[in-house]
Chains A and B, each alone.
Chain A
């Protein structure tokens, strides 16, 4: 068997087609799994030296660090899998901080009996996503637990990014007059995953938006270095949660227009059928940007030129400082509060 980079990956699958407890004990089978399958499968994005820690070069005075765990069910979906998600989720969290993603760790928790062939698929996705995002996997860990103690595979990734910008990004930079831009269709990841779980028939029309957005962010920051004030990754809890966190953190009122929200027709159909609000559905490749209001039209055009930004829209603005609130205006002129979501979110979407 050979990995995509042409290196031999040994015949771990031939000897042990399923993950066994001994693959995680640190003994010979663990070493075999790592040396003959995981490292070769990751190919050139893997820079680990199999030592106790990785010693890394950094070309900036400041770094950004983030960590996330991925437990999505199902682990394979229409246009991605848990491996792609584990890279993109962490890369995007670094990117929205204005950091250039450089390094990732990769920790795998595997269920006894998990097929090696599925692990190979996941590792291939990790390699491809890391390659696109230009991040190196510099350290890792593999544990195995008994059948039933987890569901197939859980992944944790920790990301390190270099912060070269002098202009700060963050909630503290947001002020009245800023425009709010959403870079992609809202809710597609949630609906895609839910449709696969339940066989609802929407999964072929609504794909997950899971994608690394570091390229989009860097293009944006190069083109508009001073006009972008804050960026947030729209993941669990959806846009409604991101806006409420921003309103609380910055002490501002945000107003959005329902009609301007980028919602795919099929997603609106599914949400209406399921009785869920797209405002609170999760994405895995969508950003919410707070930008200089006067530059917003130009910025949204910059975003739309990017492959993962074609659906970008200006959806509202920061209207005043003082009251922390989010309001949504309807086409008919009505206005309603966008409340904080408490605990009603669907589980295991990422």
Chain B
């Protein structure tokens, strides 16, 4: 029996409000995403929000017109209210992958999780790197195609294709909920590099 957890990436005020493209893309994906999270909570699937926190001393942290977004304790760093519910877990990260120098791996292992559904923003950066990192750490990785979001559709399409090719099963949220309900979560099978 698979033990699944949902990981969200970067659903934070500063990051979503970076520009109009992001705001619009997240607004379009929010109804489906919130419904998905609610259904997974109802199935007792743990929800873990990966919260990007930029360190002041990190020269590589992206600045927006000279200011540093998502600093520790700031309002802009908070997980957006529509995606957060009581009982959810927040894990702080400082880089793209949610596993990089965090205790995410330990927390998931403590919960007995072997399958991670990776969601959130943006598909071609944090979703992709967290998926690869999870795959390398031995997790069965699923990416629900309607629970990930990118400002540009072409970036999302390319990232999903990459994920499908290398490390993740791509399915819809509807299919994933049904699979969890039926205890038939698919396992990713490695495909040889052509």
Contacts and interface: CB of A to CB of B under 8 A. Distances in A.
A199 B100 contact: yes
B94 interface: yes
Interface in B84-130: 93-97, 99-101, 128-130
- Interface size on B, as a range, is 20 to 34
B136 A205 contact: yes
A270 B97 CA distance: 13
B193 A268 contact: yes
A6 interface: no
B130 A201 contact: yes
Contact of A200 (B94, B96, B134, B167): B96
Given A265-B193, A269-B167, A201 B162 contact: no
Contacts of A273: 128-129, 132, 162
Contacts of A269: 132, 162, 166-167
Contacts of B165: 272
Contacts of B129: 198-201, 273
B96 A199 contact: yes
A204 interface: yes
A194 to B, nearest CB: 11
A201 B167 contact: no
A151 B60 CA distance: 13
B133 interface: yes
B132 A199 contact: no
A197 interface: yes
Contacts of A201: 96-97, 99-100, 129-130, 132-134, 136
A202 to B, nearest CB: 7
B166 A200 contact: no
A8 interface: no
A266 interface: yes
B136 A198 contact: no
Contacts of A202: 132-133, 136
B95 A199 contact: yes
Nearest to A270: B132
Contacts of B193: 265, 268
Contacts of A272: 162, 165-166
Contacts of B134: 201
Given A269-B166, A273-B128, A204 B136 contact: yes
Query: Which among A201, A203, A266, A270 has the greatest number of chain B C-beta atoms within 10 A?
Result: A201
Contacts of B99: 201
A203 B129 CA distance: 11
A39 to B, nearest CB: 33
Nearest to A151: B59
B75 to A, nearest CB: 24
Contact of B136 (A197, A199, A266): A266
Given A268-B193, A269-B167, A198 B132 contact: no
B128 A199 contact: no
Contacts of A198: 60, 95-96, 129
Given A201-B132, A269-B162, 5 more contacts: A198-B96, A200-B129, A201-B99, A201-B136, A270-B132
30 contacts: A198-B60, A198-B95, A198-B96, A198-B129, A199-B93, A199-B94, A199-B97, A199-B100, A200-B96, A200-B97, A200-B132, A200-B133, A201-B97, A201-B99, A201-B100, A201-B129, A201-B130, A201-B133, A201-B136, A202-B133, A202-B136, A266-B136, A269-B162, A269-B166, A270-B132, A272-B162, A272-B165, A273-B128, A273-B132, A273-B162
